[in-house]
Structure 1
Amino acid sequence: MLLKILGIAVVIWLALAVLGAVFEFLTTALVIGAVVALGVVTYSAVKHRRSIGR
């Protein structure tokens, strides 16, 4: 009985560790994506502004 409880605890611990790693990766990817998107929008706005003056 004790081994069964320990086995369940280990499985739950591993599942939480995997979920934590996935969320950490997604957070990093979200920050990188936001920075890239902001850069593209800024570049596009600057380029569009210059083409209006011509």
Structure 2
Amino acid sequence: MLEWALVFLVISLVAGALGFTGIASGAKTIAKILFGIFLVLFIILILLAWGAGELIF
């Protein structure tokens, strides 16, 4: 999921540099949503691993 967020970020940057602002805006929004989902899932998995005793600090 993080990989797709990075792909859409690159698409957004390239489209913005070429002047396609509508495409850049859409790709930026998709990248932000995918990154947010990734971050939430990452935090949930860290908490579950900590709760199961498999995460050692």
With the length of structure 2 as denominator, give the TM-score of the two structures: 0.59
Q: Runs in 1 of length 4+ with deviation above 3 angstroms?
A: none
CA RMSD, 1 decimal: 1.9
**1:39 maps to which residue?**
44
- Structure 2 runs not aligned, ≥5 long: 1-18
Structure with more contact order per residue of length (Cα contacts < 8 Å, sep ≥ 6) = 2
- Once residues 28 and 52 of structure 2 are traced to their aligned partners in structure 1, the CA distance between those partners, rounded to angstroms, is 36
Following TM superposition, by how much is the alpha carbon of 1:27 offset from its aligned partner in structure 2, in angstroms? 0.3
With the length of structure 1 as denominator, give the TM-score of the two structures: 0.63
Structure with greater proportional helix content: 1
Amino acid of the residue matched to residue 21 of structure 2? L
Larger radius of gyration: 1
1:4-51 CA-partner distances (Å, limit 9, x unpaired) = xxxxxxxx4xx10000000000000011000000000000000017xx
**1:23 maps to which residue?**
28
- Structure 1 runs not aligned, ≥5 long: 1-11, 50-54
